[in-house]
Amino acid sequence: MAILNLKIFGVGISTDASEPDIILSTEEKLDEQGESQLVKKEVQLTNNSGTGIYNLSLVNLQFHKKMYQPTEIYAEISVVKKDEQAAWVPVTRDAIDTTFKNKKVSLVDIEGLTATEAIPTHKKVGEDFYVHAVHVKYKSNYMRIILSIFSLDKQMTLVNTCRTFVGKKLKEGILKSEISNYKVPYDKDKKQTLTYNANMKNLSYVSSGKSTEHIFPFLVQYDESFYDMLARTTNRWGEIMYYEDGKLNVGYTQSTAIPVPTTINERNSQDKDPKLPLFNSLSYYDVD
C-alpha cells in the first residue's frame, strides 16, 4: 500500500527552527503497546493563551487526478495537545488560515524507498500544488484542519466572464497571451505565472512542409472560466488537457513506454524506476 508524504512549504511552525517546512504522512508506526499509530509532527501554534505545542497527524487524505480538471487533494489533519494531560486550548482560526493558506504543497509516495533515496518520477503525484482553502472544525479536546489543495491550473477556474476571441489560434493566439494573467499563489513577489505545453494532434497540422495551427473564426467564453472554455474546446476537438510537471498540457507527446503493470508480480519484476506510459499518473486514488 502507498505511503504518501504531504509536504507543506514555508509554514514555519515546526518546533525545530531549522525546519521551515512540515511533512505529514499516511505512514503508521507501532507505539509502546504495539498498536499502530499515525506518525505525528510536533509543532508550535498560536492559541488563545499565546502559543502552545501540539501534535499534528494526517487522518484522511484523498486525491483526484483527471483530464480536463485541476488535480485536487483533500487533507484532514488532527490537532491535539502534545501533553495530553494539559488543559485543551484551541488554536485560533486566523492563525490556522495565515499558516496554511496559499502555501506550496507536494505529494509523493515513499513506499519501498529509503530515507536517502531519490524519489522516482512515477511516485510523484505533484510538487507544485497550493493550499486553496482552509477549514477548521473545533471539538471539545481536539480540532481538525481541512485543507483543500489544488494544482496551479485551479487559478484559471476562479473568475467567470463573457468574451469572444476572433480569428485566433488556440496555442499561439489565446493560450500564449492569456496564461501569463494567472499568478502562482505562493510566489510572494507575484512574478511567477502559470506555464503551458502544447503538442496538439488535431488543432495543429503540417501544410506545405510547415507546422501550422487551426484558426478559430470565433471562440466564445460563455459566462464561464477561462479554464472551462479551454476544457470544452479541447474536448470537442479531440485534444486532451491535463496538469502535469508544473504545466498545463494540451495534447500529448509520443511515447514508447511499456504498458502499466496490472499485478504486484508484474510490478515487482520491473526495475526500481520502471518506464511507465506517459499518463500513468492520470488516475484516481482514495487513501483513508
- Of 150, 169, 187, the one marking the end of a domain is 150
Judge whether residue 9 has pLDDT over 50: yes
Same-domain status, 120 and 195: no
**pLDDT value for 109:** 92
- Picking from 121, 150, 179, the residue at the C-terminal end of a domain is 150
Quick check: 278 pLDDT over 50?
no
Residues 6+ away with beta carbon under 8 Å from 212: 204, 205, 206
Q: Which domain holds residue 180?
A: 155-251
Q: What is the pLDDT of residues 74-131, one digit of tens each?
A: 999 999 999 888 889 999 999 999 999 999 999 999 988 888 888 888 889 999 999 9
Q: Tell me the whole-structure pTM to 2 decimals.
A: 0.85
Element (H, E) at 149: strand 143-150
20-50: pLDDT as tens digits: 999 999 988 767 777 778 889 999 998 888 8
Indicate the pairing of strand 143-150 with strand 204-207: unpaired
Q: Are residues 82 and 67 in the same domain?
A: yes
What's the mean pLDDT in 248-270? Answer: 66
Q: What is the pLDDT, as a whole number, of residue 48?
A: 82
Length reported for the chain: 288
**Cβ neighbours, 10 Å, residue 243:** 26
Top pLDDT among 245 and 226 is at: 226
Q: Do 166 and 140 fall within a single domain?
A: no
Counting the structural domains of the chain, the total is 2
- 141 falls within a domain: yes
* pLDDT at residue 287 in the model: 38
Is residue 228 classed as helix, strand or coil in its secondary structure?
A: helix
Q: Please indicate, yes or no, whether residues 121 and 145 belong to a single structural domain of this protein.
A: yes
| Contact partners, residue 128, CB within 8 Å, separation at least 6 | 104, 106, 151, 152, 184, 246
34 & 55 share domain: yes
What pLDDT does 16 receive?
87
Report the sign of the C-alpha dihedral through residues 267, 270, 275, 277, in that order.
negative
C-alpha cell at 195: 506555464
